[in-house]
Amino acid sequence: MTKLIRPSLGTVAVLVTALLGLVPVLAGNPPDMQTDYAARFEPVLVLVPALELPAKSASMVAAAKLGQKEPVALAIVKVVSKVNPSALPPVVGAISRTEPILSGKVAAEASKLQSTLSGSIQLATIASTRCEPVPLSRTPLIG
């Protein structure tokens, strides 16, 4: 007959801790290997002409993976505010048009970085929101 060995509570705790430590690695985003997006995007955005910065920034955010869109967008805003501050409002508008859910965070970060442009940043964010007109056949009749 074989004898069953029961692990002690300490052994189970060590195994659970080890397995939980692997969760970020298995998820593909370990905390110690986080990419510094700003350093990664700065060499690319420095070479882009000012008129093409909004389109390039929006395409970079759109190309990011689902969980990385927010850090990528915020890093792009930081780089653009350092490289070409006057292009920041159109960049914020383009990112907001591409990813509307990020518009508030991107606008807040841009306004924090360039407070003198906060009015233009707000206008760019508002102008980028998509609004569709209601067809006349669906409006209620008054009277």
The distance of Cα 101 from the centroid of its chain, to the nearest Å, equals: 9
Q: What is the pLDDT of residues 71-99, one digit of tens each?
A: 999 999 999 999 999 999 999 999 999 99
pLDDT interval class at 129 (50, 70, 90): confident
Average pLDDT over residues 55-63: 95
Of all residues in the chain, the percent with pLDDT exceeding 70 is 66
Of all residues in the chain, the percent with pLDDT exceeding 90 is 58
Judging by beta carbons within 10 Å of its beta carbon (0-12, 13-18, 19+), is residue 43 exposed, middle or buried?
Answer: exposed
Residue 118's CB is within 10 A of a number of other CB atoms, namely 16
pTM (whole model) above 0.75: no
pLDDT interval class at 22 (50, 70, 90): very low
Q: What is the pLDDT of residue 34?
A: 33
Q: What is the pLDDT of residue 77?
A: 95
Average pLDDT over residues 105-111: 95
